[in-house]
Amino acid sequence: MHHSDAPAIREIPVADKKAGPYGIAAGADGALWLTFAHSGRVARLTLDGELSEYPLDPSDCRPAVITPGPDGALWFARSQDHRIGRITADGESESFPVPTPGSGPYGITAGPDGAMWFTEMNSDRIGRITGKGEIAEFALPHAGAFPAAITAGPDGALWFTLNQANAIGRITVHGDIVLHPLPTAGAAPVGIAGDGTALWFVEIAAGQIGRISVDGRIEEFPLPDRTARPHAIAATSTGDCWFTEWGANRIGRITESGEITEYNLPSPSSEPHGIAEKIAYHS
């Protein structure tokens, strides 16, 4: 379904294809922060299109998801050299090694406890890192689960997708874990976001958007194009989510009732990955 009152889409060139722009987050400084997965950089983009790039060391550390922390800095997962990175608004960066070797950190979010929480794709663990860089890890009750995205839920817990275990997981700040299997087999969930009431997630292999209530009730909404490969999702308000369709060159929107609207991107084959909501910060 396509609306005539479509939102205006503006494209801002930030890098060539080789850089691999991947994650995006709204910083406390009012700018957007991006990861370039292939070139190993973090970039800061102002809303008038001014770009600053900060190279990471080593350049093949493969930064993935990036997110604002409670300290005003941006935190990101370095999936190739298995570290958690932190960068301040003026581009000063540091990183902390994840204790489990070859962990493959990917998703990261600010928790309700003042710490950052992250997923370890390769080692079936959820990690927690304090502002000082102290890391604790919690093992999942499933091997080869491939935990992907993670977000803080409205219930004071953390919620995450298990891409290969076909489930949504919940972990309390004390490390208690519950898994909720998805109704659709082989759905391969990736992105997840909380809208203040429930959690919304995308099923990249099934071409569906899912919603899970905090008591574990799951609804699934098929996309018009089941091969669209939805990847990331962000909530702008309760029952209003936006998501990327990296296989279909579109941005989609879904409402609480499951009504889906899609918007084509101007550049062909642009493979949209990450998406972020603009956050209003109150000091």
**Is residue 3 among the annotated active site residues?**
no
282 has a pLDDT exceeding 60: no
User: Is 180 annotated for ligand binding?
Assistant: no
CATH domain 18-195+207-222 topology: Methylamine Dehydrogenase; Chain H (2.130.10)
What would the pLDDT profile of 22-45 be if each residue is shown by its tens digit? Answer: 899 999 999 999 999 999 999 999
Amino acid 274: pLDDT: 81
* Cis, peptide link before residue 55, omega less than 30° from 0: no
pLDDT band at residue 10, thresholds of 50, 70 and 90? confident
Sketch the domain layout of the chain as residue ranges. Answer: 18-195+207-222
Model pTM score: 0.93
Amino acid 6: pLDDT: 67
Per the residue annotation, which of 3, 82, 174, 273 is the catalytic one? 273
Spatial strand order of the sheet with 158-162 comes to 147-152, 158-162, 167-171, 177-181
User: Is 142 annotated for ligand binding?
Assistant: no
